[in-house]
Chains A and B, each alone.
Chain A
Amino acid sequence: MNTLMTVSAAAVAAGAALLFTTVGEIITERAGVLNIGLEGMMAVGAVTGFLVMDQTGSAYAGVLGALASGAVVALVHAVFVVTLRVDQVVSGLGIAIGASGLATVIGRDLVGVPPRATVGTSEIPLLSDLPVVGDILFSQGVLTYAAIIVALAAAAFLSVTRTGLHLQAVGENPLAADGTGIKVELYRYSATVFGGALAGIGGATLSLQESPGWSQRLVGGRGWICVALVIFAFWSPSRAIGGAFLFGFLQILALEAQILDLTIPTPILAMLPFIGTLVVLILISFTGVKSRLGAPAALGRPYARGA
């Protein structure tokens, strides 16, 4: 494999965690619930995934643990914003801060522990023999394929299934949805918990596949990048695939600087995803593209029957 292909394959691998988390948040937001606590849910998922793997010796048990832990954290958010109807930004910030802290506490004795098992790579028969794309796309970790499948499935779910359309109705006009008998609270709870579960898996993708292990800085802002990626993807799960891999590319530049013969210092390269996010947001806003394109109309607004 030449340099460019190595880097491209690494970019796809690094995009997987972002993709899981972004797709989860898209589903949550399409139901009208904003959860900016992704950073915290990813951290809890990452550390729980690693912990469960360390206890059981099975990386897939770890992924399940991460899924469950992310869902539980998101459930807290759902209780506060759907039932108690507190400000979604405040609750989300509370999740981001509190859950990141919780992850550090859980992982205190796991820093530097070598992983007993990891999620392996799998070459897709036939497809991995294709020139170029075979190495870049079809010789990836199992969770990377899963992320792409989840994104495509989520896109189909939203546009084809009855439940998906109901979910969109809840996010666009909860009053009307309620009027037709759709259970608004149930949809919002489910979508929020589902988003948390995917953010948890996103975290586990980091701790069990991308760079197996746990440290306080493992998630390192990826959750916040995913909050921006939702806007970048205009709330579409399939468009999130490209966005996630683009930002995966920006992330691995710092890691692969030596392979690429870059003489730019590592900390400067590591800024790229964050500066890139900023630039993208500014471009979306200034180039006349409506930044609310695709945004659910009732996003961030609590719904109370009769209110």
Chain B
Amino acid sequence: MTQAALKAVPLALTGLAVALPLKLKLWNIGGEGQLYAGVVGAGFVALNLPELPAAVMVPLVVAAGAAGGCLWALLAAVPRALGAVDEIISTLMLNYVAILLVDYLVTGPWRSTEALNFPISDSFPASTRLPVWGTTGLHAGILFPLVAGMMLGALMMWSKWGFELSMTASNPSAAVIVGVPVRRNILMTMAIAGALSGIGGMIEVTMNFGTVQQGISPGYGYIGIVVATLAAGSMLGTVVIAFVMGGLVVGGLALQTLGVSDGFVLFLQGTILFFALLGSRLGGVRLLQRRERARVEPGEPLEAVR
């Protein structure tokens, strides 16, 4: 149960990273890359400053993980905000770049001299590990999706910012006219999204791997898309669904060691998504609000901003 809950942590974070930009009808498909950028950020601190005491190290790896993911998201968000460059393709391209960056680091500058045959980095110092509750194995990483989900949910419901986002989504021209900083909000939602995914990567690398290496994520960034879609873009819903689906389906199946592969999990996620789409259609309920002027057309949405 604990294991299943911990499996859901990165999933809830990458799910939120999709759900938040979706408020602006932006598709952040880059959770996977932002997660790996967080791994690189955390690795940079852990490998370069291994002497630090845990009291300094833990906040620093958290910040570095968040910063890595944030930077990675901004690489796509800045062209989107300034030039309406389609974020679906750009965030996706950056996924591959991030994974290759990890490849480069662990076969090059960060390659451990001790593990001769494996492309992995040196082991992280124990001071990078997040606090763990007693013998349960439950670690503080679980707080991040819970707190982030609640905070973002509250912001969306009650804050002026949340209202700005939904207004921009429903009528970009009107939003610009009344002075909503659309560009800044694009950057802000994407930056927060990247930071969340990055923290997910940081948690995985410090708690489950303890070394920078390939294959830290079995596709959390992609499954996060399914999770956020099933939650119809709701923040709290995303966290709940991540724990139900990620915890029970991903964690549960993997725990039974039935030889279930990452590929099967992805196939299952895609199938669940289609059944949910079918169900919502037949039930007459829209899973996601129909996007008038479907926003994917490059340059088309938020045209008024330009």
Chain A residues proximal to chain B, CB less than 8 Å: 34, 36, 40, 76, 80, 84-91, 93-105, 108, 216, 220-221, 224-225, 227-228, 231, 265, 267-268, 270-271, 274-275, 277-278, 281-282, 285-286, 290-292, 295, 299-301
Contacts and interface: CB of A to CB of B under 8 A. Distances in A.
B273 interface: yes
B104 A87 contact: no
Nearest to A224: B92
Q: Which are the 10 A-B pairs with shortest beta-carbon distances? A: A98-B270, A104-B263, A101-B266, A101-B267, A300-B294, A267-B104, A285-B83, A267-B103, A274-B93, A94-B273
B104 A89 contact: no
Interface in B214-251: 219, 222-223, 225-226, 229
A98 B267 contact: yes
A21 to B, nearest CB: 14
B290 interface: yes
Contacts of B305: none
A267 B86 CA distance: 25
Nearest to B27: A89
24 contacts: A34-B294, A40-B270, A84-B281, A86-B277, A89-B27, A94-B273, A96-B222, A100-B263, A101-B265, A102-B270, A104-B261, A104-B264, A221-B93, A265-B108, A267-B104, A270-B103, A271-B96, A271-B101, A274-B97, A278-B90, A278-B94, A281-B89, A299-B294, A301-B293
A108 B263 contact: yes
Contacts of A100: 263, 266
B163 to A, nearest CB: 24
A268 B104 contact: yes
Interface stretch (B127-135, B137-145, B183-191, B295-303): B295-303
Contacts of A76: 274
Contacts of B107: 265, 267
Nearest to A276: B93
Contacts of B93: 221, 224-225, 228, 274-275, 277-278
Give the residue among A97, A104, A299 with the most B Cβ atoms within 10 A. A97
B149 to A, nearest CB: 21
Contacts of A285: 79, 83-85, 298-299
Given A101-B265, A105-B264, A292-B297, A281 B85 contact: yes
Given A80-B277, A104-B266, A267-B101, A87 B288 contact: yes
A221 B268 CA distance: 21
Contacts of A97: 219, 222-223, 225-226, 266, 269-270, 273
Contacts of B268: 101
B264 A224 contact: no
A61 B89 CA distance: 33
A43 B271 CA distance: 16
Contacts of B296: 34, 36, 88-89, 300
A282 B87 CA distance: 11
A99 B270 contact: yes
Give the residue among B101, B229, B274 with the most A Cβ atoms within 10 A. B274
Q: Which DSSP category, helix, strand, loop or mixed, fits chain A's interface?
A: helix
B174 interface: no
Q: Which DSSP category, helix, strand, loop or mixed, fits chain B's interface?
A: helix
Contacts of B298: 231, 281, 285, 291-292, 295
A86 B83 CA distance: 28
B100 interface: yes
Given A80-B274, A270-B100, A290 B299 contact: yes
Give the residue among B89, B223, B225 with the most A Cβ atoms within 10 A. B89
B100 to A, nearest CB: 5
Nearest to B300: A292
Contacts of A99: 267, 270
Contact of A101 (B96, B225, B263, B297): B263
A89 B294 contact: yes
B88 A102 contact: no
A105 B270 CA distance: 13
B261 A105 contact: yes
B29 interface: yes
Nearest to A217: B99
Given A98-B269, A265-B107, A267-B101, A87 B274 contact: no
Contacts of A282: 79, 83, 85
A95 B270 contact: yes
Nearest to B80: A285
A263 to B, nearest CB: 12
Contacts of A105: 261, 263-264, 267
Given A87-B291, A98-B266, A265-B108, A281 B90 contact: yes
B277 A91 contact: yes
A112 to B, nearest CB: 15
A227 B263 contact: no
A268 B100 CA distance: 7
A99 B274 CA distance: 12
Contacts of B94: 274, 278
Contacts of A275: 93, 97
A286 B81 CA distance: 12
Contacts of A89: 27, 88, 291, 294-296
Contacts of B269: 97-98, 101
Contact of B294 (A80, A88, A228): A88
